[in-house]
Every structure is written in structure tokens, then in C-alpha cells.
């Protein structure tokens, strides 16, 4: 795994965890905070590989449209 990808996933987990911690529903309920961290972790696991695949696909499309390549 790339260092940038790992850093990005950590940031996503922290942001979602903080969001669920500071939400109006988190009076004293830690389950929401833990759930938020879990959602962030799963979301980053799903979203980041998709972003990487999209980048590769975009590069492939760009190359196939390149007039210099035959």
C-alpha cells in the first residue's frame, strides 16, 4: 500500500470519527463515534481503490485518444 493512500485513509477515518463525535446525537453515546470511525474505515477501503482505478482508466482513455500513438 502506498504511503499517500494510507495517510488519506487515516485522515478520512479521523474526519468521520470527529464528525460522529461532535454530532448532536453524541450526547454520551460512544457507539456513534465508534460507528463513525468504522464507516470511515470501510468507506476509505472502498473509495480509495476506486479512485486509483478511475485514474488508471482515465489514463488509458487519454492514451487511446492520443493521436501520436498508433
Q: Residue 69 pLDDT more than 60? A: no
pLDDT at 28 over 70: no
For residue 33, is pLDDT > 70? no
pLDDT of residue 70: 46
* Mean pLDDT in residue range 19-33: 63
**In the predicted model, what is the mean pLDDT of residues 52-65?**
74
pLDDT of residue 32: 66
Query: Rounded to whole angstroms, how far apart are CA atoms 4 and 9?
Result: 9
CA distances from 10 to 31, 35, 39, 54 (A): 19, 15, 12, 21
Cell (9 digits) for 19: 464528525
Amino acid at each position: 500500500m502506498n504511503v499517500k493512500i494510507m495517510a488519506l485513509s487515516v485522515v478520512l477515518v479521523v474526519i468521520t470519527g470527529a464528525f460522529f463525535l461532535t454530532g448532536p446525537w453524541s450526547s454520551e453515546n460512544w457507539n456513534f463515534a465508534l460507528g463513525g470511525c468504522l464507516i470511515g474505515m470501510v468507506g476509505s477501503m472502498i473509495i480509495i481503490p476506486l479512485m486509483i482505478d478511475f485514474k488508471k482508466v482515465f489514463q488509458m482513455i487519454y492514451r487511446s485518444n492520443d493521436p501520436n500513438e498508433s
